[in-house]
Structure formats: C-alpha cells, structure tokens
Amino acid sequence: MILILFILSLTITFSDGKEKIKYTKISELSSVAPGLENQVDTNFQNLELFVEWSNWSCCSACCCPKAVCKQFETSGDKCKTVKSIQHRRGELMIRRKGATENGDLEKLLMNRDTAKFSEAISISSITDDLEKSRIALTKKLKVPPETLEVFQAKDCAQHSQKLDCWELAKCLYNSTEMLPEKEVTNVEERDVCENASILVLRDAYNILSLMPEQLYRLQIDRKIGDGNIVDANFTYNGKPVEKLKRVKDCEHQPKRIFQHPNSEDLIVRLSEAELAENPKIIAVISYQSPSQIEIAVDLVLKTKQKRPNEDRKQDDHWFSIILILSLALCTLIILALSLFFLR
C-alpha cells in the first residue's frame, strides 16, 4: 500500500455575482530551490516583498508492512524504492517596514503589517514600483518574473511518516482506524537481523570461532535454564553491551556489538584485530522462576583452513621437482662416463 497525496490549489473569485472556481496543480507552479526560500526585496520604500510559506504537507507515501499489504509490501529493502515527498506552497506578500505615504496602500495594510502582493498590485499608483520589486525578487528566487505563487518539495527519505504508515495516517486523517493494530503487525514483520549467522550458546562456558566482519547472532539455548527468559544482560570485556530497542537493519548497523531488540540475543560483528585479542562475553540470564544463570563466551579468530588435499598437492609438487632433478643428474653422469670411455 502506498498512500499518495494529490495536491490542488483552490481559488474562489467573484465576478458579476457568480462564483468561479479555479484549480491550480502544484506541478504548474514554479519551484524554489532549497536555500533561496527566505529571499526578500526592499526596493520599494518602507515595504518589503517576500514569500510567505505554508506548513509542510504530510509525506506522500509510506513503506507498507507485510501484515497490511501482504504480497504488495514495501517494507525492508523495498522501502528504498518508495518515492515519498513533502511539499509546501509559498505566496508573494508585502510587509510594512514603515509609513508608506500612500493612502490606498495604508488602507490595505490597516490593522495588519502584511498583505498579498496580488491585492497590492491592483493599486494603480504603485503598480510599476511593485512590478520592479517583484522582478527583483523573482530573479533572486530563480523563477519567472510574473510569478505570484511558488512551491518547494523535499524527500521524506528518513521521515517517520514514510517509515511508519501509522504516523502518515495520523497526519493525513488524524486517525489510524483504517489500519490494523500496530502491535499485531509487528509480530508478522521480518526479523531485522535475518542475515546473521546464528550461534546457539548451549553450555555455561563456550568457545566460538568467528570470521572477521561477519554478522553473528548469539542465542541462549532454552534448555539451559528453567522457564522463560525474563531478562538478559551482556558484557563485552567487562563493559555493558547496549540494548537497542529499535534497529532498522542489523547488517548496516554501525555498532559492532549490541543486543537485539528482542532483549535476548546478542549481535556481534568484529574486526580481525578485535577477534585477535580473544574478547570475553558474559551473559547474565534471568528466568520467570527465581533463578539466574551466568554464561561465559570466549571469542577467537577463525583462520582460513586449507583445502583437504592441499598438503598432498604440495608434497606431489616437491616430489616432481626432486624426480626431475634426479633424472637430470643421472643424465649428466651417464654423459660424462660416455665421454670418458670414448677417450
């Protein structure tokens, strides 16, 4: 499910007592590049021309979990392909900076300091000056000189509304009733550490050989203790291991060692230098019954093993060399003896 927001501008005007409705698509407006949105022009005396921006819209799409969208899910790695943006509109406005000495303009700005440029431009006595100011401002904004309205858009790449459809629903509809309970869907979501190699700790003392830079998941064997695990705390070389409540993807997590969001497993990815120091892990496991056990783990560097017949190949290689040298030596001896007797 991708939630998409279609944006229209609605303008109502009155002419001859009849109501006219004009729709303007955002795509028909000129875009202002990031960093230029706060440009102003002050060529008109005691008046400032600027852009007044609306609030940012909701994101246009979210990454839908499997529990909601089934085979059409866009969670996990697929989330990167979801295009989601926020937009906002801007309108050219004038702002009083002092006395304008123009009766019509003062009347327009009565009891307020700002007014729409489209309203002020209708005052014939200042039309030319306002047009010059608009041309100067639109040049700074890098949009056409006749512009009255503009827009901006930005990517929702890491925005909570893209990553969480419930957050987007709250923004769009102020409700999440159209979606299932979030807690239920979390059970069906894929494991964020599914790419890790699982190593089960079955004894009170364990020695594990690990390959450098490989992702491992250390799990406690349920048969070790009595009952369900209530809490698990790990230390790495005597220092507490951080518990991460939420992890987007274990494989791309910058931390080298951390506790899985399930609060039971330990995720490890160590360098060759770190493994060469033979680090020690201690796990203190608490169970529902009033019992607690301690599990020790020594980590060692797993070296690359030779192929089964590699040694044999090397022996055969040296044997061939020795045989060739022996034959060459025998040939030389026979040749020397032949020359000796021929004399």
Of 240-244, 250-254, 324-328, which one has max mean pLDDT? 240-244
The per-residue pLDDT for range 189-210, each reduced to its tens digit, is 456 777 789 999 988 899 999 9
The candidate with the shortest Cα–Cα distance to 162, out of 21, 5, 3, is 3
The candidate with the shortest Cα–Cα distance to 269, out of 338, 193, 336, is 193
Q: How do 47-53 and 257-259 pair as beta strands?
A: unpaired
**Residue 188 pLDDT more than 70?**
no
**Residue 42 pLDDT more than 50?**
yes
The per-residue pLDDT for range 69-96, each reduced to its tens digit, is 877 888 777 888 899 999 999 999 999 8
Half-sphere exposure of 100 (CA within 13 A, CB side): 25
Specify burial of residue 268 (Cβ count, 10 A radius: 0-12, 13-18, 19+). Answer: buried
pLDDT score for 46: 85
Strand arrangement of the beta sheet that strand 266-268 belongs to: 197-201, 216-220, 266-268, 257-259
- Quick one: pLDDT band at residue 310, thresholds 50, 70, 90? low
Cα–Cα dist 79/75, whole Å:
5
pLDDT score for 72: 81
User: Could you give the 3-state DSSP secondary structure of residue 209?
Assistant: strand
Of 105-109, 227-231, 307-311, 337-341, which one has max mean pLDDT? 105-109
Q: What is the mean pLDDT of residues 286-298?
A: 82
Of 107-116, 284-293, 322-331, which one has max mean pLDDT? 107-116
What is 46-80 written as a DSSP string?
TEEEEEEEPPP---S-----HHHHGGG---GGGGG
Of the CATH numbers 3.30.1490.20, 3.40.50.300, 2.60.40.10, 2.40.50.500, which one belongs to the domain with range 197-301?
2.60.40.10
Separation in Å, CA 27 to CA 5, 11, 30, 163: 13, 16, 8, 25
- Quick one: pLDDT band at residue 23, thresholds 50, 70, 90? very low
Domain boundaries in the chain?
Answer: 8-173, 197-301
**Residue 155 pLDDT more than 70?**
yes
pLDDT score for 336: 75
**Residue 47 pLDDT more than 80?**
yes
pLDDT score for 135: 93
Lowest mean pLDDT among 59-73, 129-143, 289-303, 326-340: 326-340
